[in-house]
Structure 1
Amino acid sequence: MTRKRGNKKKRPRIGIYCEGESEAQYFTMLSQKYNARNVHSQKINIKSMGESGKKLITESKLKGKANNESNLYVVFDRDEKSVEDIQQCRKLAKRYGITILFSSISFEIWVLMHFEPVMHSYTRKQLVNKLSTKKYFNQDYSKFKGSSYRPYLYDKIQQAEENAKKLENIHNNMDINDPFTNIHQHLKEIFNVDIL
């Protein structure tokens, strides 16, 4: 008598394409955290592209197709993009079936949410200065960027999600709101978890 194999649903291959090294390091940490406890871990490809906006979306579509990835995510921030630029990015991503993980003014808004709620805007310089203090990274954050977030954020993902939900109640428009992030909305689907 032969044994029948279970008909487990095959998990999709996921591509996460990031604007910079900080974002890639962050998602690598999450992949290690959630796939370590998930017996049926999936293939997640995380890559820093050094691109932003429409160029990142277009390049990610090509890479995702080449890597046979069915679920694609791009991670970038506002930089100097206008409202029109953001709207064009959203249209292009929708056409390609890509999900945008976006932060305004920068990814560091999301990083700060691992420590506290964020309800007002910061400049990039203000965020770097704040994150450099003893309460957060206790080092020059501008030099830290691109290093592993594991010692600082690994056990604070749920707190970041809660803080992001508070912000979402008042700032939920990617095109115009600052501060803004939607990263928390997609982490559970990416990593196939119920609780962060």
Structure 2
Amino acid sequence: MNHQSNPYRRHVPRYSIKKVLIVCEGEKTEPNYFKAFQTSRELIRVEVLGLRMNTDSLVQYAIQLKKDAEMKKESYAEVWCVFDRDSFPEHNFNRAIQIAKNNQIKRVYSNESFEIWYILHFNFHQTAWDRNLYKKELTKLLGFKYKKNDPKMYAKLKDKQPIAIKHAKQLLENYGVNHNPESDNPCTTVHILVEFLNNYIE
């Protein structure tokens, strides 16, 4: 195995294998994407759950899983929560983000939907759309009908990933210090988790 082939990867001692939990609001779309990362089991153990919960319930469940693991002395090095703004009440969205932060849960949010991350692989986008428009635009950009739960989206977009990371960062920078996740549409922090996982790609 040639570990030098991955430009993202950093050296991690063999004895410090990370145990990481990723809990997703969606049952298929987000879990399918993150499960496709070919991370090295010599470096990290990644558990991805698709829970089909609303954001409040998802954050509370992630907190409970974190506490349960700590009680069993099987603590996760990191717990990530992946969720969308979608049609969720605005005040609840920011509140959920703050509760997660207060409990050392890393937040990966998208406003309005996870599909903004896919769009950013093709171009910089800063116009507010609902999720149906994202689906139509993705069908046009991909050249075939976009299917929300497609398990191969990671592979189909992998070569364009650096572009998406650049665009996601640019989008957040444009909002500046007053960035408000519940009202800044579109926005996403998916790239933060993507860059984290890229550190452990085989």
**TM-score band (shorter)?**
0.7 to 0.9
- The answer as to whether partners of 1:14 and 1:190 remain within 8 angstroms in 2 is no
Runs of 5+ in structure 1 lacking a partner? 1-6
> Paired residue for 2:48?
46
**2: CA distance, partners of 1:27 / 1:39:** 15
Give the number of the structure with larger relative contact order, counting CA–CA contacts within 8 Å between residues 6 or more apart.
2
Runs of 4+ in structure 1 over 6 Å off = none
Aligned CA distance change for structure 1 residues 39 and 79 (closer, same or farther; 3 Å): closer
Where 2:185 maps in the other structure, the secondary structure is coil
Aligned CA distance change for structure 1 residues 144 and 87 (closer, same or farther; 3 Å): closer
Q: Which of 18, 22, 26 lines up with 1:16 in the alignment? A: 22
Q: Which of 87, 99, 105 lines up with 1:98 in the alignment? A: 105
**2: CA distance, partners of 1:137 / 1:93:** 38
Shift of 1:8: 5.1
Shift of 1:24: 0.6
- The answer as to whether partners of 1:54 and 1:92 remain within 8 angstroms in 2 is no
> Paired residue for 1:3?
none
Identity percentage of aligned residues: 24
User: 1:52 is matched by which residue type in structure 2?
Assistant: N
Matches within 5 A, 1:1-196: 10-20=16-26, 21-29=28-36, 31-32=37-38, 35=39, 38=40, 40-67=42-69, 68=74, 69-133=76-140, 135-136=141-142, 138-139=144-145, 141=146, 143-171=147-175, 172-192=179-199
Runs of 5+ in structure 2 lacking a partner? 1-12
- The answer as to whether partners of 1:25 and 1:146 remain within 8 angstroms in 2 is yes
> Paired residue for 2:6?
none
Output the TM-score relative to the length of structure 1.
Answer: 0.81
Shift of 1:177: 0.2
Q: Give the length in aligned residue pairs.
A: 180
Shift of 1:9: 5.3
User: 1:16 is matched by which residue type in structure 2?
Assistant: I
Aligned CA distance change for structure 1 residues 112 and 173 (closer, same or farther; 3 Å): same
Aligned CA distance change for structure 1 residues 98 and 13 (closer, same or farther; 3 Å): same
